[in-house]
Amino acid sequence: MTEVSPDPKNPEINECVFDTTAKYAYYRFVVNEVHDWDNGKNPLYAVLERIDLLDAIIGVTRVIIDPAACSIGIRENKQLTFTVEPENATYIKEHIFWGSLQNDVASVDENTGIVTGKSNGVATIFASYLNKTGNCRVTVGTPPADKVTDVIIKNPPQKALSVGSAVPLYVEVLPSSANQKVSWTVRGHSPIAVSVDNQTIDGARIVAVNPGTATVTARSVGNYTESASCEVTVVAVPKVSIEVGHGGSDPGTYRYYNGMQIVTSGGTMIKESDITLVVALKLKEELVRHGVDVLISREEDIKVHVKSDKEKGIVGFVDVAKEYAPDVGVSVHVNALIYPQSNAEGFIGFYREDSHPTTSQELINEIKSEVENIGQITRTAVDEFVMDSLDCPTAYLEMGFLCNPNDYVKFNTVEKQQNFGTAYAKGILKYLGIPWKP
């Protein structure tokens, strides 16, 4: 107790001075006695009673983090909370400090307790108050994937592959948030017709190895009960027949050119039969280079009968090609109209509606794409042409109009004509599933 005396002349004022440096104390003013001032015997006095707060505080014995353990994904956040024991303990909430012992795995906001996953691993998150600490074990990793519900092969082969060819198979795993990995298997009679390589998350490459049929299966790694299969047929070395337009005494269409001007006389005679031979020979060269067997109607400037004439004992090329049984048949020609000049322009790929129309259009589309790459405009049309007896996809290829100088300039040299032969070969090979070799 500390005794103090107020001002005797003003008993209403009770002032006192005390130590304010104590960290854990406060003072209570207590009036003990009041005596008559006139008698002057016992002065009024009061005391300041020092109360030690350490005697009034209920200490924190334990800090607990909720939850004690959890898992989160990388860049995922989670709110942690804390409690103290005993429940009536005296503490200042703002003085709780959060931290991480493995900050590279998971960090925590030191004020809020929000944890953020940073990399795969385990981190200890702690909350401290004075000398008491609680911990939480946080595992950081890729969130568990959704369950696989379906596997789809998006582009199963629609036609037979030839030995040595290869095609991609693209696979889709649903849902997209599930594990996208698949395993590939091949089943069939020995020797196995295909092999699988270049496996990626999007699919794989199927390589035709031996003639025959095989079943290719893509099975989910995340859910082994889900899979997709397709049947692949492999045939021997592919065969292509090439009918080379006209030749010898049959020049086909022709025009007289003086430079780039069409003239009626005095110019150079440009014959369809000369152009088609250059194109066809280059086409054959590239196909053979890629392992394709080729039947060609002529390899020099001679007349070859397209159709047979039994009375004259002539066997036409169409009948020869029919016996050859090609996988693809093409005719190489140059277009023209009867007028000296015409606005008709561009490559045309003709097919028959009554003979393999779908696959013939697919063949023409592949060729058109390559012809466009060398600068020629293209289109597709329906017509009856000389290869109508073949039981395979066929295309009658008119590279351009000789009667149009805008077209002629695109094939007025041997080099340009050979470019068409190469474009035709690339399109046919792509249709057959044979990769181009530069």
Looking at residue 386, what is its pLDDT?
59
Domains of the chain by range and CATH? 2-55 (no CATH), 62-140 (2.60.40.1080), 151-235 (2.60.40.1080), 239-432 (3.40.630.40)
Looking at residue 341, what is its pLDDT?
57
Looking at residue 2, what is its pLDDT?
36
Question: Which structure tokens are listed for 213?
Answer: 């049929």
**pLDDT above 60 for 4:** no
Looking at residue 354, what is its pLDDT?
87
**pLDDT bucket at 342, cuts 50 / 70 / 90:** low
Residues 294, 295, 297, 299, CA torsion sign? positive
Selection from 201, 200, 203, 202 nearest residue 216 by Cα: 203
Averaged pLDDT for residues 384-393? 78
Looking at residue 89, what is its pLDDT?
87
Q: What angle, 0 to 180 degrees and rounded to 10, lies between the N-to-C axes of helices 414-432 and 357-373?
A: 140
DSSP string of 174-186? ESTTB---EEEEE
CA 25 to chain centroid: 71
Selection from 87, 385, 409 nearest residue 259 by Cα: 409
| pLDDT digit string, tens, across residues 9-39 | 444 444 444 444 444 444 444 444 444 444 4
Q: What is the pTM of this model?
A: 0.55
Looking at residue 32, what is its pLDDT?
45
**pLDDT above 90 for 190:** no
Residues 276, 279, 285, 287, CA torsion sign? negative
270 contacts 404 by C-beta, under 8 angstroms: no
Strand partners, 262: 257
Averaged pLDDT for residues 51-64? 72
| Mean pLDDT of the chain, nearest integer | 86
Averaged pLDDT for residues 418-424? 98
**pLDDT bucket at 164, cuts 50 / 70 / 90:** confident
Report the alpha-carbon distance of residue 319 to residue 391 in Å, rounded.
12
Looking at residue 144, what is its pLDDT?
67
- Determine how β-strand 394-401 pairs with β-strand 328-335: parallel
